[in-house]
Amino acid sequence: MRVVLGVTGSAAAFKAVAVASGLLKTGFEVEVVLTEAACRFVTPMAFQALTHRPARVDLFAENAPQPLHIELARWTEAMLVAPATANTLVKLAHGVADNLLCATALALPESVFRAVAPAMEERMYLSPPVQRALKQLENDEWMILEPVRGHLASGEVGLGRMVEPDVLVAALAKAIGEEGEA
């Protein structure tokens, strides 16, 4: 199974390295797409070293035979955005394609499995715009891998911590396996 792993600018971005590793160990082929904000938390090189593929950031990459977001959308069989920030969730729900990750998501064929793993402060997660975005994504058949209660980047304890990488990989593998059996 081919997976595009989208990584956004959250303090939980470091966990995405473990997610990529877990996906690879489970037998997935992985292409990583980072937002520019994600690169402030983790480098593309970390993912390239794991996947042996270039980690992508630039929507307007040069020397691509076709637009990169179209190429990635055609290649993948599943897309997982982990961590998914409030900003990216709202963009995905409203079809805003102003970066490579969102443009790839918008270009996905209907047959592609989609999932997001939100990660943010509790007040942001519970805010009406984020909750509306999550409902819209569910209506658009995105699997929501709900955050858990725990220590957050602010030092507070609350709901908004991204699920642990091994739990996330197992849930994705199970969901994709079940969908493939249907």
pLDDT (0 to 100) of residue 64: 67
What whole-number percentage of the chain has pLDDT above 90? 91
**What is the mean pLDDT of the segment spanning 4-18?**
97
Q: Phi then psi for 122, rounded to 5 degrees?
A: -55, -45
Q: What is the pLDDT of residues 158-179, one digit of tens each?
A: 999 999 999 999 999 998 887 6
Domains of the chain with bracketed CATH:
2-181 (3.40.50.1950)
The full 3-state SS of the chain, as one line of letters, equals CEEEEEECCCCCHHHHHHHHHHHHHCCCEEEEEECCCHHHCCCHHHHHHHHCCCCECCCCCCCCCCCHHHHHHHHCCEEEEEEECHHHHHHHHHCCCCCHHHHHHHHCCCCCEEEEEECCCHHHHCCHHHHHHHHHHHHCCEEECCCEEEECCCCCEEEEECCCHHHHHHHHHHHHHHHHHC
53, 30 Cβ separation under 8 angstroms: yes
Q: Please name the residue that has the structure tokens 């047959």.
A: 111
- For the full predicted model, state whether its pTM sits above 0.85: yes
Query: How confident is the model at residue 25, as a pLDDT?
Result: 96
Q: What is the pLDDT of residues 71-128, one digit of tens each?
A: 999 999 999 999 999 999 999 999 999 999 999 999 999 999 999 999 999 999 999 9
Give the residue-averaged pLDDT of 26-30.
Answer: 96
Share of the chain above pLDDT 70, in %: 96
Chain centre to alpha carbon of residue 169 = 12
